[in-house]
Amino acid sequence: MENKLKLYGFNNLTKSLSFNIYDVCYAKDPKAQLAYIAYVDEQYNSERITDIMTHLTEMIGAQVLSVSRQDYDPQGASATFLIADETMIPAGGSETVAHLDKSHVTVHTYPEYHPDTCIATFRVDIDVATCGKITPLTALDYLIGSFDSDIITMDYRVRGFTRNLSGEKLFIDHNITSIQDYIDESTLRKYDAVDVNVYQSNIFHTKMLIRELDLQNYLFNTDVTELPPWKRLEITTALKREMIEIFSGRNVFGNGFFTD
Residues with catalytic function: 103, 108, 131
Query: What is the distance between the alpha carbons of residues 260 and 255, in angstroms, rounded to a whole number?
Result: 16
Looking only at the bridges linking them, the beta strands covering 203-210 and 151-159 are: antiparallel
Residues, the chain? 260
Question: Measured over all CA atoms, what is the biggest interatomic distance in the chain, rounded to whole angstroms?
Answer: 72
Task: Label residue 212 exposed, middle or buried (CB < 10 Å: 0-12, 13-18, 19+).
Answer: exposed
Residue type, position 227, single letter? L
Of 123, 115, 124, 110, give the one whose Cα is nearest residue 27: 115
Task: Label residue 244 exposed, middle or buried (CB < 10 Å: 0-12, 13-18, 19+).
Answer: middle
